[in-house]
Structure 1
Amino acid sequence: MSAHPNELAALPVTVVKGVGGKLAQTLAKLGIHTLQDLLFHLPHRYVDRTRITPIGKLRLNMAAVVQGCVVSANIQFGRRRSLACTIEDDTGSLMMRFYHFSAAQKDKLEPGTLVRCYGEPRMGTTGLEFYHPEYDIVDDPSAKPVEEALTPVYGLTEGITQPRIRKLAEQALLELKHHNPAEYLPPEVGQMFGVDSLADALRYLHAPPPDAPVEQLIAGLHPYQQRLAFEELLAHYLARQEARARAQAEASPVLRVAEQQRQAFLAQLPFTPTFAQTRVLGDINRDLQEGKPMLRMVQGDVGSGKTLVAALAALDVISAGYQVALVAPTEILAEQHFIAFSNWLEPLGFNVAWLVGKLTASKRRDTVASIAAGEVDVVVGTHALFQDDVLFASLGLAIVDEQHRFGVNQRLTLRQKSIDGTIPHQLVMTATPIPRTLAMTAYAELDYSVIDELPPGRTPVNTVLISQKRRPQVIERILAACKENKQVYWVCTLVEDSETLAAANAEETAELLKNALKDINIGLVHGRLKAAEKEAVMKAFKAGELQLLVATTVIEVGVDVPNASLMIIENPERLGLAQLHQLRGRVGRGSIASHCVMLYGDKLSMQAKERLGVMRETNDGFEIAEKDLALRGPGELLGTRQTGEMEYRLADLQRDAGMLDDIHEIGDSLCAHHPETVEKILNRWFGARREYMQA
């Protein structure tokens, strides 16, 4: 039968044996609607179940297959109810722990039962534990051999399991006999990787043969993986370029530097902007004069002065008679921007307002009316600015701070906010330094500038790692700092993604510290507090009425208390490096020497020690971001795991950075000469999820 390459994209997934209407609906949540979608829903990793590892030879965080007899299976009641099943072989014992389980499951795990399970050992209360491992009860070890080849692991959604999707992939591969996937890239790309056939690559990656190079596949370095990773990165680049072209096809106001107002603005400042701030401002000014929408990201480490740059950019816009919107992710950060912009711009005759959720209904109504009437020059706010009834008389510039905190399409909603139809310029800012490799792909539609210089007088924060066993000494250190009229943060972290548990942990810690530090005024902030309560505590801390602030990671962004010079972070091993760097940036904002104490748990893995060592060695946010990208992946670093923006199936921006120059060259050529091919590549990799790539 002759091959019909284009049919893959036209055939519904229901042609695959075993896919009915209900399963098709479940697959649609994964963006799988067609046979092509299913074939290109590639394994994002492999597990090695080709050999059984003796329990005594297990290594922390290294996934493995083990086999042993059940010793006991009991329900335990701790902070969370769990089923704890201990198995052992000749070399040692291991606990399998399940937080979701049934009575039938417990009954089947009776003592003496032979179990083969696959998991990743972590350190638990009893030693090494597997959390929710995949397991089988083995009746006859010789009749149930270990897997012959690597096992693929796919991205899932509720309603589908790994075994089910593996079965579907097997069925889909049978269709390749009749429908070859089309080759959209120039022949030299295949030659670069020594890959002749996309069909061969798909067959190999969904079902690696028994003689496949295990280490190479697990590392993502097999030529077939690299060929498809190249196309995936190209698809992301093309999507971003498409978004840029669409945005820049429109016209925005031509805005020149307001020299007189700028001189008056700078004359108010007790300092001179740094060279880096001046350079970045020059980039912005060139964009504002081009007559098409500016799309620029400004990266700057904690404390580098992004707010001043944003205010100077806003000055040029409002001097020309347009309005400016500044959106921040939290009310605390929005208030700080509001105070700064008011102090700088109101003496020059401009009106600054703010719009946040806590305003009374009448105050909000008046503010919204003033914005629509053009009586307000700058509006600073939170998510409240995205609401449908908030319209501007003439919006010339939208500034989004900590932009990765917002949803995929929220930044775009600001483009439709102008009553007179003006398309605003866009400036996005982040204090999370993003490695160049990540920015070149994840934000290819944005030009970007870096404020790579801290204002003079800032002192680097001295970071130390101290075991929880030395907690009493840390508390003594807090007492000494408070006696010197310095202020202190104590940050509580929790593994569980639960605001309730995090709040309870912070409350418990605050009580313990109040008992230990009876003469110290202690405040508490966590996500369960109402906005007004949280704000009252933060104001008291900023005013110096509180000496110690116990908080969850809600204080990560934007809190500016120059007198705070000591931070304690409990269990720092639970957070990513970028988040730790953001937290640490809350101290060292004045000229006094500042310290960050990372109070780690007793059982710290080698990898955790290595990660935390990075924090001790450097205060350079860009260096830390590179390490974080290597250890945690781009979705974690950018906070986009839930948004759909950064779902890479095969590509790894750190590993595959060497491809990016070729990708950009081929991508630019395709955009210029083969727009129909661009469309096909985007449909192959994003399909119905194209809307995620528009922001």
Structure 2
Amino acid sequence: MDFKQSRLTKLKGISEKRASLFAKLDINNLEDLLLFFPRDYEDWTEITPLHLIQDGAVVTVKANIITNPALQSKGKLSWLRTALTDGVTVISAIWFNQPWLAKKLQAGFEYYFHGKVQRRGNKFSLQNPLFFDQTEYEKQKIQAIYPLTAGLTQNIVRNSVDQVLTLYNNYLTDPLPDQIRKDHELCTLNYALEKIHQPQAEYEYQLARMRLAFEELFLIRSALYLLKRKNQAESQAEALLPSETIKHKMNDLRSNLPFVLTNAQIKAINDILRDLRQPKPMNRLLQGDVGSGKTMVAAFALAYAVWAGGQGIFMAPTSILARQHMDTLTSLLEPVGIKIELLTGQTAGKKRRDILEAAEKQEVDVIVGTHAVLEKDLILKKPVLTITDEQHRFGVAQRSALADFDKQFFLPHRLVMSATPIPRTLGLILYGDLDLSIMDELPLGRKPIKTYTATSQDKARIYKLMRKTVERGEQVYVVCPLIEDSEISDLESAETTYEKLSQNIFPDLRIGLIHGSLKPDSKNRVMEDFIDGRIDILVSTTVIEVGVDNPRATLMLIQNAERFGLAQLHQLRGRIGRSDRDSICILLSDSEEELARERLKTLCQTQNGFEIAEQDLRLRGPGDFFGTKQHGLPQFKLINLYEDHQIIQTVNESFMKIIQQDPGLSFPDNQNIVKAIKQRYPEILRGITL
């Protein structure tokens, strides 16, 4: 049976209506259901003696039925009641509106019961308990808990999965070579699929999860590698060859800079120029810590592309960032004859038409913009380089569109930039289709940001520091985790903080407010006022996390700092310290949790974003570190990017061993890897930009 082509309605109890409910969980066929893994388990293996049960507890007990259940009713309500004993203690069990159970329960027989205890006076009872005979209990004593949607219950999903496992007959090919399974003591695929759904002991589902998580990551790693290899083999780009004139211009550009490039910047520029000279399209990730000077590297790449006869596109996720990049690039490149234009959603009318016409005639060399550069009416005469800043902020479709400019002739060279530090082993998984340049140095003259923890008791001193900062002609960020107050949270919101600061604490200062719910024009206006110095203190949510550059901002107060991830706190902190002035970041938290204190202590001790990312992976609980959907990868079913970095490292090591021996994955033992990717993970091939 082809599970992928078999609809759920083949299963007993699955009507068209019920199948539509499963579809809400992205389960459309038998294969989807087979690979729909539990999110948790209930362990019913611990048997509680009846004399130890407590009111309100959910327990599993083993008992004999003393009397056949008696059916009683009153109006529309009916109930069955019986007495249970384990030979020492007697309790009762009661089931409401389930009269058919009377035929399934017989006096003198022993069952396992699982349910919630209720106490009335000195008498205990189980309310609507589930029950099993010995055979059923052995099969179901560890219950899988699945994600649900309205209209589906755990029993419906479990029964459906049970039918699929009964029909399953080695349908899926095991993609892992035997040697890998032996090296890492991984169970077989068939065993894993059975035990992930229906384990009878904890070690069984641990073995199953380890095997399936390893496989999941291994296939993604393999798919990205194959895509990269395919791009290199099949795609063509214009080789931007150097000339003596270009060399002189590049040297002049560097020598006229008002500062010295870091070694990391020089290496990244050389990596990019080497790629641009090849007839294969560059696909490179420029990964630099906050403030490491990525825009400067991008400027050199654009200059080289233009002087080699082409045009470039630079796309940022917000119009504020686009304007900042426009200003930076203009100051660097227009003096050497490179014409740059800004194209955002606000660019309209004659101005837009003039830019489009100039781009098509190659009268403009570089277009800087937002997603507006993806509009079909933008036609460049010779686009040879596309640069995407903070690329994980874009959807896959947008990144694909940018990569596909002028596709009918050549693919443009592609550079993507990210300020999110990623541990190298994880980066190989998330960006396996890209070459990697890492910038881990700050520009000369930048001072480390002094970072301190504080509590609410320190607010008076913090307010004094904020006032002194403003009196020096500098500016302040105050970051809050929420936009507005919530009844279910005692966190101080951005709106409440804004009112308190503007009305009570600093009525004489200029206080601004920005958050994600504001309209784009309003956000742009507030940020422009802050950057231009018309706001002294800006109260914000994490909307400022990405890329905003204001050299006058030297103090940041982050409220309820324990509510943010370490990597996110580091990104926020990077909004200050953008000049040679002393800068201070204060992490305000009243949390007494040891883990929260340890995380904040890490931020106080290091400025290195890569160290912080590693620590974040180690300390932070389950969650989606990067938002895998934003990366174009499928949402991981089992891998946890925080807790499974040992598996990630092991997968990378195993994969590298294989491709060293078989770069094309063409050996017979490795053909199942390719087959499994096509069979089970086609979304990887669709989702990753080529």
- Report whether the alignment pairs 1:567 with 2:547: no
Residues 208 and 404 (structure 1), Cα distance of their counterparts in 2 relative to 1, 3 Å cut? same
Residues 195 and 566 (structure 1), Cα distance of their counterparts in 2 relative to 1, 3 Å cut? closer
Residues 511 and 180 (structure 1), Cα distance of their counterparts in 2 relative to 1, 3 Å cut? closer
Deviation at 1:399, TM superposition (A): 0.5
1:526 aligns with 515
Write out per-residue CA displacement over residues 453-483 of structure 1, whole angstroms, 9 at most, x where no aligned residue: 1111111111112122432332122112222
| Percent of matched pairs sharing the same residue | 39
Paired residues of 2:665 and 2:671 also in contact (CA < 8 A): no
2:465 aligns with 477
Measured in 1, the distance between the counterparts of 2:386 and 2:220 equals 25
Partner SS state of residue 672, structure 1: coil
- Report whether the alignment pairs 1:191 with 2:182: yes
Deviation at 1:18, TM superposition (A): 2.8
Match of 1:250 among 232, 235, 245: 235
Partner SS state of residue 326, structure 1: strand
Partner SS state of residue 68, structure 1: coil
Deviation at 1:420, TM superposition (A): 6.6
Match of 1:638 among 618, 626, 629: 626
Counterparts of residues 538-553 of structure 1 (less than 5 Å): 538-553=527-542
Counterparts of residues 206-285 of structure 1 (less than 5 Å): 206-209=197-200, 211-213=201-203, 217=205, 222-248=206-232, 249-257=234-242, 258-285=246-273
Paired residues of 2:446 and 2:578 also in contact (CA < 8 A): yes
Partner SS state of residue 586, structure 2: strand
1:395 aligns with 383
1:680 aligns with 675
TM-score of the pair, normalised by structure 2? 0.80
Counterparts of residues 113-262 of structure 1 (less than 5 Å): 140-141=125-126, 144=129, 149-155=141-147, 160=152, 162-176=154-168, 178-195=169-186, 197-209=188-200, 211-213=201-203, 217=205, 222-248=206-232, 249-257=234-242, 258-262=246-250
Deviation at 1:347, TM superposition (A): 1.1
Paired residues of 1:327 and 1:380 also in contact (CA < 8 A): yes
Deviation at 1:378, TM superposition (A): 0.6
Counterparts of residues 102-113 of structure 1 (less than 5 Å): none
1:120 aligns with none
- Report whether the alignment pairs 1:662 with 2:646: no
Amino acid of the structure 1 residue aligned with 2:653 = D
Deviation at 1:678, TM superposition (A): 4.0
2:89 aligns with none
Using the TM superposition, name which of 413-422 and 140-149 deviates more. 140-149
Deviation at 1:504, TM superposition (A): 10
Write out per-residue CA displacement over residues 317-345 of structure 1, whole angstroms, 9 at most, x where no aligned residue: 11112111111111111111111111111
Paired residues of 2:223 and 2:684 also in contact (CA < 8 A): no
Deviation at 1:299, TM superposition (A): 0.7
Amino acid of the structure 1 residue aligned with 2:480 = C
Gaps of 5+ in 2: 59-92, 95-113, 119-124, 132-136
Residues 198 and 534 (structure 1), Cα distance of their counterparts in 2 relative to 1, 3 Å cut? closer
Paired residues of 2:392 and 2:631 also in contact (CA < 8 A): no
Amino acid of the structure 2 residue aligned with 1:529 = L
Paired residues of 1:9 and 1:36 also in contact (CA < 8 A): yes
Residues 590 and 604 (structure 1), Cα distance of their counterparts in 2 relative to 1, 3 Å cut? same
Deviation at 1:617, TM superposition (A): 1.9
2:80 aligns with none
Partner SS state of residue 595, structure 2: helix
Amino acid of the structure 2 residue aligned with 1:172 = V
Paired residues of 1:16 and 1:171 also in contact (CA < 8 A): yes
Measured in 2, the distance between the counterparts of 1:374 and 1:419 equals 18
Paired residues of 1:43 and 1:152 also in contact (CA < 8 A): yes
- Report whether the alignment pairs 1:623 with 2:604: no
1:101 aligns with none
Paired residues of 2:187 and 2:208 also in contact (CA < 8 A): no
Gaps of 5+ in 1: 54-64, 71-113, 116-134
- Report whether the alignment pairs 1:41 with 2:29: no
Write out per-residue CA displacement over residues 614-637 of structure 1, whole angstroms, 9 at most, x where no aligned residue: 212211100111122334579732
Write out per-residue CA displacement over residues 275-313 of structure 1, whole angstroms, 9 at most, x where no aligned residue: 111011111111111210111101110110100111101
Amino acid of the structure 2 residue aligned with 1:358 = Q
Amino acid of the structure 1 residue aligned with 2:638 = L
Partner SS state of residue 144, structure 1: strand
- Report whether the alignment pairs 1:556 with 2:551: no
Measured in 2, the distance between the counterparts of 1:563 and 1:635 equals 35
Deviation at 1:403, TM superposition (A): 0.7
Amino acid of the structure 1 residue aligned with 2:677 = L
Measured in 1, the distance between the counterparts of 2:571 and 2:663 equals 39
Residues 49 and 621 (structure 1), Cα distance of their counterparts in 2 relative to 1, 3 Å cut? farther
Residues 689 and 349 (structure 1), Cα distance of their counterparts in 2 relative to 1, 3 Å cut? closer
Partner SS state of residue 476, structure 2: strand
Deviation at 1:184, TM superposition (A): 3.0
Deviation at 1:503, TM superposition (A): 14
Counterparts of residues 457-476 of structure 1 (less than 5 Å): 457-476=445-464
Partner SS state of residue 353, structure 1: strand
Partner SS state of residue 285, structure 2: strand
* Bigger Rg, which one: 2
Deviation at 1:410, TM superposition (A): 1.8
Residues 47 and 300 (structure 1), Cα distance of their counterparts in 2 relative to 1, 3 Å cut? farther
Measured in 1, the distance between the counterparts of 2:534 and 2:595 equals 40
1:60 aligns with none
Paired residues of 2:633 and 2:684 also in contact (CA < 8 A): no
Deviation at 1:560, TM superposition (A): 1.2
Deviation at 1:505, TM superposition (A): 3.4
Partner SS state of residue 321, structure 2: helix
What is the RMSD computed on CA atoms of the aligned residues?
3.3
1:378 aligns with 366
Paired residues of 1:301 and 1:621 also in contact (CA < 8 A): yes
Measured in 2, the distance between the counterparts of 1:580 and 1:339 equals 27
Measured in 2, the distance between the counterparts of 1:340 and 1:634 equals 39
Deviation at 1:68, TM superposition (A): 2.5
Measured in 1, the distance between the counterparts of 2:211 and 2:628 equals 25
Measured in 1, the distance between the counterparts of 2:163 and 2:620 equals 33
Paired residues of 2:484 and 2:494 also in contact (CA < 8 A): no
Amino acid of the structure 2 residue aligned with 1:276 = A
Amino acid of the structure 1 residue aligned with 2:545 = E
2:75 aligns with none
Paired residues of 1:670 and 1:678 also in contact (CA < 8 A): no
Measured in 2, the distance between the counterparts of 1:225 and 1:403 equals 32
Measured in 2, the distance between the counterparts of 1:466 and 1:49 equals 45
Measured in 1, the distance between the counterparts of 2:529 and 2:490 equals 22
Write out per-residue CA displacement over residues 185-237 of structure 1, whole angstroms, 9 at most, x where no aligned residue: 3222332344564222211111110x3339xx5xxxx3332222222112101
Write out per-residue CA displacement over residues 392-419 of structure 1, whole angstroms, 9 at most, x where no aligned residue: 2221011011111011232111233228
Measured in 2, the distance between the counterparts of 1:421 and 1:587 equals 44
Measured in 2, the distance between the counterparts of 1:239 and 1:549 equals 45
Deviation at 1:138, TM superposition (A): 5.5
Write out per-residue CA displacement over residues 534-580 of structure 1, whole angstroms, 9 at most, x where no aligned residue: 33332232232322111121111111111211100111122211111
Paired residues of 1:42 and 1:649 also in contact (CA < 8 A): yes
TM-score of the pair, normalised by structure 1? 0.80
Amino acid of the structure 1 residue aligned with 2:161 = A
